Structure formats: C-alpha cells, structure tokens
C-alpha cells in the first residue's frame, strides 16, 4: 500500500472506474447517488484523452468491510451512520469511446483505472447527432428524464432491411407507429403501407382517461403525405379526403388465400394447379360449378381447360375451395369483379406517401387478405421488372407494416409471401415493419433478417431472450433496462447508430403540434422566399 499516491483528493463525487474488463466496467459511486438502469456514463480518461461511454446495466450495494454480515448483524441492536466504506457498485456495458478527433470507436480498449466517471450530460450526447436519421421518433432518455437536444431518428436505408416493433400490449406500439408515420408524412422518405382495421391510425381512438388521442388525419400540416383508401361510406370518404378501396378479381391469385384459410394437402395441390389462372376466371369457374360426383362428365361451362386440369381432384376438396372463395367474395365488399385501386395505391407509394388502407369493422381475414395480396403484387412486380438491377434506378423504397405479425410470420405455408418478403424484399426495395407483442412466436429466421429493433416494454422473459439473441447489437446486458421500461420508453437498436439507444418516444398528440412538424419541403420554402 505504501506505493499508492493520492490523486485528486478534492474530488468529492468519488465516481471512479475500478475495473473490470474491456466488455464490462465497474465503478463505485456514493451510496446516495441517483442512478438508473440505462443511464449513460461518460468516463473521461485524461491519460489517453479518450471519452468512454458505458450504459448502466446493473447495480448493487457493496462495502469494504471484511465481515460479510456487517449490515445484518446490527439488526438486533442498532444501525450505523454509513461512511464512505459503503457504496453502490455499478455494472456498466461499454458502448465505445470518442477519440481526441471526435471519432466514435468500438470499445476495443479499457479506460485507465480510476478514470473519472460521471452521468452523461446534454453535451455528451451531441456526437450522436451525426448518426441520427431523418425519421424522428423521440428523444434520448437518460435516467428518468430526456435530453431535449438529442433527437432520435431512424434512417430510411436501414429500414429497407426491415424493422421490428416489439411491445407488450399498452406499452405504446400504436403511439410509436403514429409518431413514425407522422415523421414519414413530413419527410416522405419512402412509401409506407399500413392496413388499419380499427380506424385507429386514421382518426385515433378515445383515450382511457378521456384525453386526446388523435390519428394521422389530425396532422394537417403533413396531410399531403398521406393517402387513404377506405371502405367507409361516401360521406366519410369525402370527410377524410380518402379514395374508395377496390380490389378487382383479377388482382387476386390463388396463393392469396393461404394466410386467411387452413388448407389440407389436397386443397393446397389444387391451389398450386391453378396458381397461374387469372383471379376472375378462377372465381367464375368455382362459382359456376357444383362439384357433385362426376361433375366433370356433365361440365357444360366455358372454361373446359380449367375443368380438365381439376378433374382428377376429389369433389370434396374442390367444394371446400369453392366455399372459401364464396366467403372471400361475400365478406369483402371492396373485392369486386372490376375496378381496382391498386394502381392508385402503387402511385401513392411511389410518391413516398403513407398509404393507409382503412377497413373499419372488417374481419381479421380481410386485413390479412389485403396485406398478402398487396405484398405479393408489389414483390412480384419488382422481381419481374428486374428492380434494383440497374444501379442508377431511383430507390422507390416501400415499407409494409404488419400488425400482430405473429399471425403471418410464424412457420407454415400461410406465411410464405411475408417470409419471402423478409428474406428477399431488400433486393427489391421492400422492407417489412414487423409489429408484435410476441416475438417468440415469430420465425427466428425472420427475426434474424430484421436490422432495426424498437423494443418497448416486454414483460415476458422468453420474448426478451428471443429479441436479445436476434438483434444485430448485443441487447443481452440491457435485459434489466428492457424489463423496467415504462410506457412510451424504448431501446432502439439500428444499423447506423453505433450502440442501442435509450429513447422516449414522442407523445403523438404533442409531436404533431411541434413547430418543426410544419412542412419544410422545397416548394413551400421556394414560395415563401419568392413571395416574402
């Protein structure tokens, strides 16, 4: 001990790094310190002139006393005044360090022992700005507060490689999606396709405490970045400035039935056999044919070619397909013999708008039918057009949001089109936004394709483990933080930002009223300049 020389004795804070390895730091801090899981620590190494950053991932009471029972022994008589031998021991996960030139580097070295540690302050977050994208979603969170100047924004090019939004119910998924959509309406970074079965995104829903809970149509400044296709009546369509949704029989392909019905092997074979048939021909044929025993011998319809193809199949299987087609046409009023809005939907996506498919009161089957049909249509179109082969081609990126994604991204045939999109979509500029409260029920191969993780509170341990093992950045040490996230708080891990960011998502109603949510597009700017 005689070799030890005191340093900095005036430093009352006593926040000093005492170890441990390049992948996990420890520091002892006064036992009264107000520290929270997820807090960012800045560790300034005067020797190397580096500022290291680390995230608090654990904490415990500790002391210098040799007697392991020092704190329980006095229980029978009296407690002590605590001196400096009693402290909090923090565990912190290194995130990286800033070198003297301001470059942020991965944590490949350790800070000098006893380097000063402090809870990061506003200016410590300034370097993050260079990594943030233009799709703003919230503010960096530190402890229980936020850093007003540190905005969290996602990069459009990262979302081409899919985004996952994971949260237990009530933790703020819908609010996140509305904030995200509003930023997309403002910035127009890509076409965002969302199916809205409850009108929640269109006009909001009553808040539990009677407060305001608006929808995307309330963001008036961004209205020209929103296109609505709706099944509502004429009057509502006018009120919301929507277009009437119409899907034509010819937009349909037999494989669109997979996500919405169960099929036996024999029935699936029938669908494969007619996979190249035009939607209207298939629907007409099945509608007009009764598939009684020996139906083929007495077939007098016009589509003899199709009849010949199907004659070997069992009548019961054919009747089952017929029933399913009947259900499909009966329950979906927007599904019509002629008149299709797919071209308009495509155009709105190409104009990089948020496209809301508003189908209030419709069944879950209708939602999945539209989603699967549109995903298949755009994926195949782009594949057949050789999309992306020409480097100079404009990006024309599309992001397709899938709510309750565990319905269509688990294993099984019904999920084929979405899985295909998860695996291949990137080549064709189509990303998926996978929204779910049950990541454990999503095919792990699909989770592995997702590069941007927005993790709101997840109470289920298996769900958290699933997320931690699939994310590109290691989220395992953040388990404690993720477990204790409050409503509207998130951990965001995305390719362009060097470490997972603790974030407070904006509250949508306040976000759309912020002054910087006013349109900033060049045309308006130009008009303003030339007329002022």
Ligand X SMILES: Nc1ncnc2c1ncn2[C@@H]1O[C@H](COP(=O)(O)OP(=O)(O)OP(=O)(O)O)[C@@H](O)[C@H]1O
Q: State the minimum distance, in angstroms, from the CB of residue 171 to ligand X.
A: 5
- Measured in degrees and rounded to the nearest 5, phi and psi for residue 524 equal -60, -45
Residue closer to ligand X, measured from CB, 208 or 515: 208
Question: Which of 514, 443, 414, 494 is closest to 155 using CA atoms?
Answer: 494
Q: How far apart are the C-alpha atoms of 263 and 313, rounded to whole Å?
A: 14
Give ∠ CA 179-163-203 in degrees, rounded to 5.
Answer: 30
Q: State the minimum distance, in angstroms, from the CB of residue 349 to ligand X.
A: 24
Q: How far apart are the C-alpha atoms of 144 and 167, rounded to whole Å?
A: 19
Residue closer to ligand X, measured from CB, 166 or 335: 166
Q: State the minimum distance, in angstroms, from the CB of residue 121 to ligand X.
A: 23
Q: State the minimum distance, in angstroms, from the CB of residue 110 to ligand X.
A: 36
Residue closer to ligand X, measured from CB, 100 or 208: 208
Binding-site ranges for ligand X (CB under 6 A): 167, 169-175, 207-208, 213, 487-488, 505, 507
Q: How far apart are the C-alpha atoms of 86 and 65, rounded to whole Å?
A: 8
Q: How many CA atoms lie within 13 A of 77 on its CB side?
A: 5
Q: State the minimum distance, in angstroms, from the CB of residue 441 to ligand X.
A: 15
Instruction: Name the residue whose CB lies closest to ligand X.
Output: 488
Q: State the minimum distance, in angstroms, from the CB of residue 239 to ligand X.
A: 24
Residue closer to ligand X, measured from CB, 98 or 179: 179
Question: Which of 367, 415, 347 is closest to 201 using CA atoms?
Answer: 367
Longest pairwise C-alpha distance within the chain: 107
At which residue do the structure tokens 């009677």 appear? 210
Residue closer to ligand X, measured from CB, 171 or 379: 171
Q: State the minimum distance, in angstroms, from the CB of residue 38 to ligand X.
A: 16
- Measured in degrees and rounded to the nearest 5, phi and psi for residue 517 equal -90, 0
Residue closer to ligand X, measured from CB, 174 or 397: 174
Residue closer to ligand X, measured from CB, 213 or 377: 213
Q: State the minimum distance, in angstroms, from the CB of residue 359 to ligand X.
A: 17
Residue closer to ligand X, measured from CB, 176 or 378: 176
Q: How far apart are the C-alpha atoms of 174 and 509, rounded to whole Å?
A: 12
Q: How far apart are the C-alpha atoms of 391 and 386, rounded to whole Å?
A: 11
Q: How far apart are the C-alpha atoms of 137 and 182, rounded to whole Å?
A: 9
Q: State the minimum distance, in angstroms, from the CB of residue 490 to ligand X.
A: 8
Cα 514–chain centre separation: 23
Q: State the minimum distance, in angstroms, from the CB of residue 510 to ligand X.
A: 8
Q: State the minimum distance, in angstroms, from the CB of residue 496 to ligand X.
A: 22
Structure tokens at 405: 């994604």
**E strands, 86-144, in order:** 86-98, 104-105, 116-119, 135-142
- Under DSSP, the state recorded for 121 is -
Angle between helices 265-273 and 315-331 (to 10 degrees): 70
Residue closer to ligand X, measured from CB, 210 or 515: 210
Question: Which of 149, 103, 148, 109 is closest to 126 using CA atoms?
Answer: 149
Is 26 in a helix, a strand, or coil?
strand
Count of residues in the chain: 532
- Measured in degrees and rounded to the nearest 5, phi and psi for residue 162 equal 70, 150
Residue closer to ligand X, measured from CB, 173 or 382: 173
User: Is the C-alpha dihedral spanning 282, 285, 290, 294 positive or negative?
Assistant: negative
Residue closer to ligand X, measured from CB, 201 or 252: 201
Angle between helices 342-350 and 364-384 (to 10 degrees): 70
Q: How far apart are the C-alpha atoms of 131 and 152, rounded to whole Å?
A: 9
Structure tokens at 507: 């509250």
Residue closer to ligand X, measured from CB, 173 or 188: 173
Is 63 in a helix, a strand, or coil?
strand
Residue closer to ligand X, measured from CB, 175 or 377: 175
């Amino acid at each position: 001990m005689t070799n030890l020389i005191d340093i900095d004795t005036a430093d009352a804070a006593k926040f000093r790094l005492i170890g441990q390895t390049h992948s996990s730091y420890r520091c002892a801090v006064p036992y009264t310190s107000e520290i929270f899981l997820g807090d960012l620590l800045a560790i300034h190494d005067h020797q190397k002139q580096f500022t290291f950053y680390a995230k608090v991932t654990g904490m415990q009471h500790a002391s210098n006393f040799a007697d392991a029972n020092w704190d329980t022994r006095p229980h029978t008589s009296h407690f002590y005044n605590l001196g400096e031998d009693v402290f909090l021991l923090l565990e912190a996960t290194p995130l990286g360090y800033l070198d003297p030139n301001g470059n942020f580097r991965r944590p490949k070295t350790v800070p000098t022992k006893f380097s000063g540690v402090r809870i990061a302050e506003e200016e410590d977050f300034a370097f993050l700005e260079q990594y943030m994208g233009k799709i703003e979603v919230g503010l960096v969170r530190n402890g229980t507060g936020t850093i007003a100047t540190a905005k969290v924004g996602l990069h459009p090019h990262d979302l081409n490689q899919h985004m996952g939004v994971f949260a237990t119910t009530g933790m703020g998924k819908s609010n996140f999606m509305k904030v995200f959509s509003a930023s997309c309406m403002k910035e127009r970074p890509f076409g965002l396709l969302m199916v809205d079965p409850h009108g929640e995104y269109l006009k909001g829903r009553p808040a539990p405490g009677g407060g305001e809970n608006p929808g995307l149509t309330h963001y008036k400044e961004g209205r020209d970045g929103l296109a609505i296709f709706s099944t509502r009546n004429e009057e509502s369509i006018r009120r919301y400035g929507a277009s009437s949704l119409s899907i034509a029989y010819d937009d349909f392909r037999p494989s669109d039935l997979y996500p919405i019905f169960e099929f036996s092997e024999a029935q699936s074979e029938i669908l494969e056999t007619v996979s190249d048939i035009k939607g209207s021909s298939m629907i007409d044929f099945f509608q007009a044919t009764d598939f009684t025993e020996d139906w083929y011998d007495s077939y007098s319809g016009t589509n003899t070619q199709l009849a010949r193809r199907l004659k070997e199949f069992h009548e019961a299987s054919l009747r089952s397909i017929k029933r399913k087609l009947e259900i499909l046409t009966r329950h979906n009023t927007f599904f019509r013999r002629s008149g299709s809005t797919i071209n308009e939907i495509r155009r709105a996506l190409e104009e990089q708008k948020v496209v809301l498919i508003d189908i209030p009161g419709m069944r879950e089957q209708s939602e999945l039918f539209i989603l699967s049909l549109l995903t298949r249509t755009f994926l195949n179109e782009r594949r057949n057009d050789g999309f992306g082969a020409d480097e100079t081609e404009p990006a024309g990126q599309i992001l397709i949001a899938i709510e309750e994604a565990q319905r269509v991204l688990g294993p099984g045939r019904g999920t084929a089109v979405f899985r295909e999109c998860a695996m291949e979509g990137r080549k064709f500029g189509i990303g998926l936004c996978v929204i779910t409260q049950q990541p454990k029920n999503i095919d792990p191969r699909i989770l592995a394709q997702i590069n941007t993780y927005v993790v709101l509170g997840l109470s289920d341990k298996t769900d958290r483990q699933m997320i931690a093992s699939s994310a590109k950045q290691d989220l395992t040490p953040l388990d404690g933080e993720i477990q204790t996230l409050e409503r509207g708080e998130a951990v965001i891990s995305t390719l362009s930002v060097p470490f997972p960011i603790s974030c407070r998502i904006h509250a949508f109603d306040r976000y759309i009223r912020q002054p910087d949510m006013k349109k900033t597009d060049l045309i308006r700017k130009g008009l303003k300049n030339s007329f002022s």
